[in-house]
Structure formats: structure tokens, C-alpha cells
Amino acid sequence: MKRCYQVVGEWMKAAGLSVSIDNAGNLRGVRSGVVPGKRVFLMGSHLDTVRDAGAFDGILGVILAIAVVENLPNVPLPFDIEVIGFSEEEGVRFNLPFIGSRALVGTLDEHAVAVISPALREFGLDPAKISDVKLKTPPIGFLEFHIEQGPILEHVNESVGLVDAIAGQTRATLKFTGSANHAGTTPMHLRQDALAAGAQWITIVEHIACTTPNLVATNGKIELQPNLGNVIPGEVTVSLDVRHSDDEVRENACALLRHSAAHIAAERMLTLSWTETLNQRSVPMNDSLTRKLETAAPQGIRRMVSGAGHDAMILAPYIPSAMLFLRSPGGISHHPAESVLPQDVDLALSIGQRFIESLAIEYKS
């Protein structure tokens, strides 16, 4: 990360930005406006990634923001522009996502600070001053460029899309508990097969997701005991991930899925436990900023929902925020094959420039 900050920091300086690293590990570059410190508009994304990932998730949004500033006319704007490369968005190292963006809006709790403090000190930062990272002047807005990380834009052969909202998300863990027994000697009608119950429920999860518009639901992890070929599974644990931009739709789907699991368990004489591990509400983007971004884009640009989380969802409750998605060829992300198309990047750059120029006209008047 130090090498990354050194390289990206040099690119920021070449674009005319004054560069610093704050005590939450965010890389920040500022181009001063007519009255420095009076107003600020933020752009950026995150610089960290996951293991064995691609080159564009997060970092593209930082580089595009730098390029927008670099291509602007060399005259002072009626506001500062700050480009931020957020730290630890993915949450891989500490199992704590959005560290940099949470620090920026002052929502990083004491537990998180305690967990990351040794690493911050090793990096040369001062965790005792992490509260100083919080923005003092409320920004006029935030724009995040990001790859879609999905197949929708490619499927409709479109370069970019406007994000209306970041989907709410429920995560839960279900455990069906029956009775492990001999696979050869236990008749079918006398079994308490936990895996059969889990499999029955998983098909219901898929059915509800397929028949509820825009709902996605995933069972990504299954663990069973004793996990032997000649033993009836006595215990099965299944993960659940449900996402939708409408929180009521998501919560109703989860209630139906929980009821279905309980019904299956009762029919098969099993016990069921349901542990909810995440209930994250949908985060809408700012309508006014999104409309300005739409005006800067080609006519007919698609509006869409982000199924993945982004730094914008942390900032949006406190700062007017907008997002522009770029097509992900193959719908691939978090993988070395992740890519973008040069013409899409060029279009996103021109949209960003027109957006900032129109914002400058608005605040100048």
C-alpha cells in the first residue's frame, strides 16, 4: 500500500493536487478553488482490493477522478476539488469494511479503531488523531466512478449507467438439526435428514428470488455434519444473502424464507435456528446530483441499482452522493480477468468533466 500511495500520489501531484495521507490511511489530493476551504466537492473510490483480484475495482474510480481534475481548465473553480483514495473498503484484512470512508464521516467506532490501531502505527499514522479525519466543512457533494462488477450493462451493450441506489442486504445463517444415522439401516420414512431439508429450502430460496422482481438471493455456503458418505447428515448450516433496493420487499422476502424453513423443519421433525448477521438498509443516491450527472451523459443513459456495497453508501447519508458505473466485460470482478473497455473509460471521463464544469457554473452564479 505504501508503494501504491507513492505512485498514485505522484499522479495526483502531476494533476496539480496537493497530496497527503490522513490518519485513517486515506490518500487525499486537493485542488484549491477561488476561496480555499470555503466549499469542497469530493471524488474518489478505494485503493485496496481482495486477494487474487483485478486491476479496476476501486482504483479506476480514483484514477478517473484524477484525470477529470487534470483535464479541467487551469482556472480556479468556485470550490475546492478533493480526490480521495479510500483505505480498507473491502474489509479483507480486519473483517471491518469501509474504514477510510467511515472515518471521513465520523462513524468509525472505538472497537474498529482499537482493531486497526497497530497497523496504522506501523504505517506511520497516529490512531489517536483519527477523529481529525472527519470532514470539517460539509462538502457540496461526492462522485464515485466504479466498474459495475456485474453483467447488466454488457448484456444491453451500454457503456455506462447511473446508480439510483445501493441495495439493502440481509445476511443470515440457518441451521437444520436432525439425527445422524446409518445410511443403510435407517428407512426413508424414519429419517431426520438435515441435508434433505436444506436442499428443499434452497430450491425455495431460488424460486422466491426468481419470482420477485429485482430480488437476488444466494446460498453461498453449506456445512454439514458428520459429512460422511454412508451417514445421514444430522446437521446442516446454510448461509443466506438477500438484496433489494426496496427494504420492504427484502424484509418481506426474508420473512417468507424464514417461515418456509420453519415449515420444512416441522414437517421433517427437525429443529431450526436462524441467526441474522446483517440487516443493512438500502442507500439512495442524491436525486439532484444524479440528475446533474444524467445531464452530463448521453441521452437515454440507464438508471440502475448497485447490488454491491461502495464507499458512496457510507457517505450518502451525510453528503449528497452520486455514482457512475462502467461496463464490466464478462460481468467479471474480484478476479484477475476483471477489465474495462477504453471507450467506456473515455466516455466516463468526458461525463465527469462536463459534470464538474456545470457544477462550477452553478456555484459561480
Give the percent of the chain with pLDDT over 90. Answer: 94
- Is the confidence at residue 81, as pLDDT, over 70? yes
pLDDT at residue 365, rounded to an integer: 64
Q: Which of 152, 170, 162, 206 is nearest to 333 (CA)?
A: 152
pLDDT digits (tens, 9 = 90+) for 150-189: 999 999 999 999 999 999 999 999 999 999 999 999 999 9
* pLDDT attached to residue 296: 96
CB 305 within 8 Å of CB 273: no
| pLDDT tens column, 121-148 | 999 999 999 999 999 888 999 999 999 9
Per-residue pLDDT of 248-299, as tens digits, reads 999 999 999 999 999 999 999 999 999 999 899 999 999 999 999 999 998 8
Nearest residue to 232 (alpha-carbon basis) of 281, 288, 194: 194
Q: 322: how many CB neighbours lie within 10 A of its CB?
A: 24
d(CA 360, CA 296): 13
Residues 39-51, mean pLDDT to the nearest whole number: 95
Mean pLDDT of 36-43: 95
Q: Using a pLDDT cut of 70, give the percent of the chain over it.
A: 100
Q: What is the DSSP string of 73-94?
A: -SS--SSEEEEEEES-SS-TTT
The pLDDT assigned to 299 comes to 87
- pLDDT of 300 > 90? The answer is no
Average pLDDT over residues 210-215: 97
Q: How far apart are CA 112 and CA 92, in angstroms?
A: 14
Domain segments of the chain as ranges:
2-166+282-364, 168-280
- Indicate whether 196 pLDDT > 70: yes
Domain range 2-166+282-364, its CATH number among 3.30.200.20, 3.40.630.10, 3.40.47.10, 3.20.20.220 = 3.40.630.10
Which whole number is the average pLDDT over 199-213? 98
Q: Which residue has the cell 461496463?
A: 327
pLDDT higher than 90, residue 95: no
CATH fold label, 168-280:
Alpha-Beta Plaits (3.30.70)
Average per-residue pLDDT for the chain: 96
